[in-house]
Amino acid sequence: MSWFRRRPAPRTVPLRAPRLDGSTWPPAERGARTGFGAATTHRMGLDAAFTPEAHEVADLLTARLVPLLPVDASPEDLPHVIDLLRSAAQAGAGIGLVDARDASLDREHMGADAAGALGEAERDLPPLPAGLRAPARYLLHAGHHVARLGPESVSALEADLGAGPTSR
């Protein structure tokens, strides 16, 4: 056995439901990758974000989850904030659609490159106040989650957000 032999990096990270507090944020997982694979998955996810499937996920999340998020915006800014949150959901859905193409993944795992791609997508967000960054990151994660698990998974996310302040 060589002292220089390294254990290969994991190919997957757990696929967990998003939390508004960021505690299940995939890029924070030990196995989340950065570099070429994550950047490629991010780019492919951005392309997939413009497919009808990603639009459907974003529309669903905007209709059902955005009203439950603690968003502080003036009446003039609210339409722009909703557009930004919808775009975040759509980008996450695109990454989720790319991730779903990997036939080796099961319903409990996501690709390590997809986890890193979500981190890249978060860095692509415009500068946001803390009160908007958390909901935008949540919707990136939720878009991926619903694209991977299907629209029936929205009910659990909705229930979690509606459970009260301890879930936020």
Which pLDDT tens digits describe the chain residue by residue (168 residues)? 556 666 555 589 999 999 999 999 999 998 889 999 999 999 999 999 999 999 999 999 999 999 999 988 889 999 999 999 999 999 999 999 999 999 999 999 999 999 999 999 999 999 988 889 999 999 999 999 999 999 999 999 999 998 644 444
Task: Please check whether residue 94 lies inside any domain of the structure.
Answer: yes
Contact 157, 17 (CB under 8 A): yes
Number of structural domains the chain divides into: 1
Domain that holds residue 41: 29-167
- pTM of the predicted structure, to 2 decimals: 0.90
Task: Please check whether residue 11 lies inside any domain of the structure.
Answer: no
Partners of residue 12 on adjacent β-strands: 111
Task: Please check whether residue 126 lies inside any domain of the structure.
Answer: yes
